Each structure stands twice: as C-alpha cells, then as structure tokens.
Structure 1
C-alpha cells in the first residue's frame, strides 16, 4: 500500500507523488485512541490513516507524541484541511471522513482541494 498525492496543474492535468510507501490503518478503537502516542519517531515514508464511517468533526492531539507531524483531514479523498502539529502540545480539528498523519514536512506541497488516496 502507498499514499499518493494528486495535484491539479490546470487544463485538467494531474500530477502525482507518493507521500508514503508504508501505510498503517488505525481501524480499531484502541489503535485510534493510541495513534502515534509513545513512539519515539516514524520513518520518512510512513503514514497512519484513520477512517471514519462518515464526515464529521475529528480532533487530533499530540499528547505523548515527541515529534512534529503533518496532519491532513480528507472528505472523499479531497484535502479539506492541513496542519503541522507540534510535539506534545499540538491540537487540530476539522471535518473529515479520513485523517492522515505523516512526518513533518511530508505534506509541504499538499493543499486543500488536492486529492490524497491510498492505493495498492
């Protein structure tokens, strides 16, 4: 699995770039609650994906996460919000049916309106 970023370039042309080649899904109550807590770091090509049944307000916190991350809130694979969360004290909130957490800097060129999709 890999996480791919699609960006419109005009004239209906899309460019793509792999954001992460290692994708972990937080699909249980425990894995969602834990997220990245208690890890010392994550690899540069890593992403954790949280999927929800329908779009709704989704919160993130950085309690017990000692490194910065980039967080993306998606609705139907479209980026609706992006935020860099600081270690230990970062907070984020937006509407989403999917949240993606990546190493800080991995989503620098991702903007609202872009598409981010998990592919086999």
Structure 2
C-alpha cells in the first residue's frame, strides 16, 4: 500500500522494496505485467544515482522520485527505451503500474509513505503418517490405534 499523506489518497496494491544492489539492478526489467510497486531505497541522495533507464522494459510505468524526507521531487509516466533523471536529488524511487500517479493524485512536495507487503513463505509438502484404524474403548475411555500405518503423499 502506498499513501499520499498530504492528500489522504491510497493505492492498495502489492509493494516490494528494492533495498539491495541486485534488487535495484533487476528492478522491473522484463516484467510483462507490472501490477505491483517497487520502491528503490538508494544508498545516497543525488540526481545521478536516482536516474532510471527503461531499457528491456516490456511496458510503460509510473515513476515517483522522493527525497530523504519522502517528499515528491519529481514524477512522470516513463516510456520504454528512454532514460529519466529527476529534477532534484532523490533518495527513493517508486516504480509502479501506469495509473499510480493519478490514483495518488501526486504533486511535487507531497509526503508519501508506504507499507511493504510481506512475502509469504511457500509451504513444503511433507509426508504424514496416520494410523490405519482408530477405535474407542468405552470401558476404559481410551483410544486404540492399530499398527497399520497409512502414508499420505
């Protein structure tokens, strides 16, 4: 979720952080359907470091540049096969689907915050053994398991 705190507008989409070199390098390149936002956390705040390229992008995206105080310094819809540099130094770059800027009603100076979507760990199938037969003995109020074991895949 991304929030324009200045205007109270919210984008209720999936949000991920690109806070390592590898994640920033990969970005949204070769993503066929950009349906989530990626927030780049840059090591230093400057214009050159916040520049982006749209090489190998399969679709256009909305881009919002923020300073270290999370104030919007620039924003635009980025087209494929172009290079973009923000008007001012930026510490964060938000890349998302086209329409993100309109949904948040972004203007320069707006305060933006976000809530990163937690990645759920994938479950791993495990073989579980169950007794072949369960019977209840009413006389002693006990449960008896037979020795036959059934394994479920």
For the pair 1:36 / 2:35, whether they are aligned, the reply is no
Gaps of 5+ in 1: 8-14
Counterpart position of 2:79 = 86
Alignment coverage as a number of residue pairs? 109
Point out which structure has higher relative CO (alpha carbons under 8 A, 6+ apart): 1
TM-score normalized by the length of structure 2: 0.66
**If each structure's strand is expressed as a fraction of its own residues, which one has the higher value?**
1
Task: Using the TM superposition, give the Cα deviation of residue 106 of structure 1 relative to its aligned residue in structure 2, in angstroms.
Answer: 1.4
TM-score normalized by the length of structure 1: 0.82
CA 1:60–1:20: 2 relative to 1, 3 Å:
farther
Distance in 1 separating the partners of 2:25 and 2:85: 15
Distance in 2 separating the partners of 1:86 and 1:20: 23
Task: Using the TM superposition, give the Cα deviation of residue 21 of structure 1 relative to its aligned residue in structure 2, in angstroms.
Answer: 2.8
Match for residue 99 of structure 2 among 99, 105, 108: 105
CA 1:20–1:51: 2 relative to 1, 3 Å:
farther
Larger radius of gyration: 2
